[in-house]
Amino acid sequence: MDFIEGGELFRHLVKVRRFPENQARFMIAQVAISLGHLHDQQIVYRDLKPENVLFNKDGYLLLADFGLATKVDKNKLAMSFCGTAEYLSPEMIEGSGHDHTVDWWTLGILLYEMLVGIPPFFHKNKHKMYFLIKEANVTYPVPEKHNIYVSPEAQSLINGLLAKKKDYRLGKNGIKEILSHEFFKDLNIDDLMAKKIEPEYKPEIKEGELKFFNQRLVQTD
């Protein structure tokens, strides 16, 4: 496997706390395209989170860790319970069966966290958090109070991705349904795919540096 020097998106998000909307748009589109490609192969990823998105040195992203991915045939449902607590979908918690739309739910959670700095239903009490995931509406910071602004376009996309019922979730009919959303209107997807867009955010990497990775001292004889 290639060595991805930039490390996890998680570490960069901790560093900057929140990404500006134009940077988040550039990154979330890449994640969406990656998930869409997997879905074309009848693969459901099921473990999207900042720790599983890696920064290449060119500023573009890669999806990693397919340990929870599974093949789900069209019009079929997977029944296993898996994923990261803050990113679980209502149907995953309820055990009612999930399909590729579970990945679009996690995409909405990721975009919210990138823009706001915390997942939308986060609570220290896991049972309370599961209740919020199943029952609560998504709320957004008040700009005047929190100094965080989430545009109407971003809110619309997030709300569509975080529809409680998977049959009403944005992306049910495929990746094009998501990329055609007004949130991406100023992003040229063809240029993005061809890596013709210069990323506004790049990890600062010095040769031989491993600061974006957990390191363990290994003693050798």
Name the residue among 98, 38, 91 with its Cα closest to residue 66.
38
Mention every residue, 6+ apart, whose C-beta is less than 8 A from residue 206: none
In degrees, rounded to 5, the angle at the alpha carbon of residue 132 between the alpha carbons of residues 144 and 34 is 85
Name the residue among 47, 64, 37 with its Cα closest to residue 175.
37
Q: Which residues are catalytic?
A: 47
Length of the chain in residues, anyone? Answer: 221
Q: What homologous superfamily does CATH list for 9-66+82-193?
A: Transferase(Phosphotransferase) domain 1 (1.10.510.10)
Q: Given this model, what pLDDT does residue 211 score?
A: 60
Kindly report whether the global pTM for this prediction surpasses the value 0.85. Answer: yes
CA–CA separation, 33 vs 156, rounded Å?
Answer: 19
Residue with tokens 């055609």, as numbered in its chain: 180
Q: Given this model, what pLDDT does residue 66 score?
A: 95
Mention every residue, 6+ apart, whose C-beta is less than 8 A from residue 86: 49, 109, 119, 121, 122, 129
Name the residue among 95, 148, 88, 169 with its Cα closest to residue 123.
88
Tell how strand 53-55 and strand 43-44 pair up.
unpaired
Mention every residue, 6+ apart, whose C-beta is less than 8 A from residue 211: 7
Q: Given this model, what pLDDT does residue 5 score?
A: 83
Q: Given this model, what pLDDT does residue 210 score?
A: 64
- Give the mean pLDDT per block of 10 residues along the chain (221 residues): 86 94 98 97 97 93 95 93 96 96 98 97 96 97 93 98 97 96 97 96 74 51 43
Q: Please check whether residue 82 is in contact with residue 76, taking contact to mean a CB–CB distance below 8 angstroms.
A: no
Q: Given this model, what pLDDT does residue 218 score?
A: 40
